[in-house]
Amino acid sequence: MFEEPYRWMEAVSNRHSYVQERLKLGQPVFSVPFDEGVLIVGFAPQRGKIFEIYDRIALGGVGHPADVERLRMTLLEMAHLEGFNRSAQDVTLARLLQFGIAPALKQNFEEIQRAPYIIRLLLVELDRECNPTFFRINYDGHWETFKDGTVIAGKEKIMDWIQKEIRALPFATFTLDKALEEVCRLWVESKKQEDGDGDDDKDFPKTLKEAFDQWYLEGALLSGKVERRAIYRTLTEEEIGKLKSSVG
């Protein structure tokens, strides 16, 4: 009987190791401000990393696609229920995280009989004064808040390195084109940090040309300078083509 707490702690530690091992090939998803709103962007072998959640809220995900989709639907339902019961103005990421998704993730992770979620999520909110807030939530329910932009990735080492670089750049003063170029530069630089980090991703693109040829660039933005209610939109083919030609 006295051994049970230690067995539980060992089981939780094993779950951390298991999820981190499954996540390590996850490619970075960036979210940064720019002079007209917020950008969310990332390369991936398949689409399905970036989504709209509510009027001024967007989501980026790394991990198992089924788990990302399940949590996306959970957040979507919570946001619309909150908006129906209260008002659209009452739907905030802080409420969705603090009273909804974070406790659910923590409970799931600590119940060792259940399979853990293999995810990291990035969430961003643009308020009506065009001030962005960025959130990062882990598979165990732990979440952090950022003002200058953030990133999620499979490897914590890469994630921490990119976060420091984002903090050092004045993204809020950049145009959309400049922000996209800087994010691509950080993606390339982050690949150099992985050298000698293992052979599992040796066949992954290492240059922007390879990434554009082999993968999809998925991106969206929340624009604070539009008259319409819907401020979320995906990057256009023209914007992606212009970026591809500028970095090629």
**pLDDT given at position 201:** 67
The side-by-side arrangement of strands in the sheet containing 132-137 is 50-54, 57-63, 119-126, 132-137, 143-146
The side-by-side arrangement of strands in the sheet containing 150-152 is 150-152, 29-34, 37-44, 216-223, 232-234
Average pLDDT over residues 145-150: 95
Tokens linked to 56: 């001024």
Residue type, 199: D
Residues 151-207 have pLDDT tens digits of 999 999 999 999 999 999 999 999 999 999 999 999 999 988 876 565 566 678 888
Top CATH class, 27-247: alpha beta
Using CB atoms within 10 A of its CB, is residue 213 exposed (0-12), middle (13-18) or buried (19+)?
A: exposed
Give the residue from 24, 63, 61, 41 showing the smallest Cα distance to 212: 41
Q: Is the pLDDT of residue 1 over 50?
A: no
**pLDDT given at position 46:** 86
State the Cα–Cα distance between residues 146 and 133, nearest whole angstrom: 6
* pTM, 2 dp: 0.91
User: Domains of the chain: which residue ranges?
Assistant: 27-247
Give the residue from 201, 226, 199 showing the smallest Cα distance to 37: 226
When the pLDDT of each residue in the chain is averaged and rounded to a whole number, the result is: 90
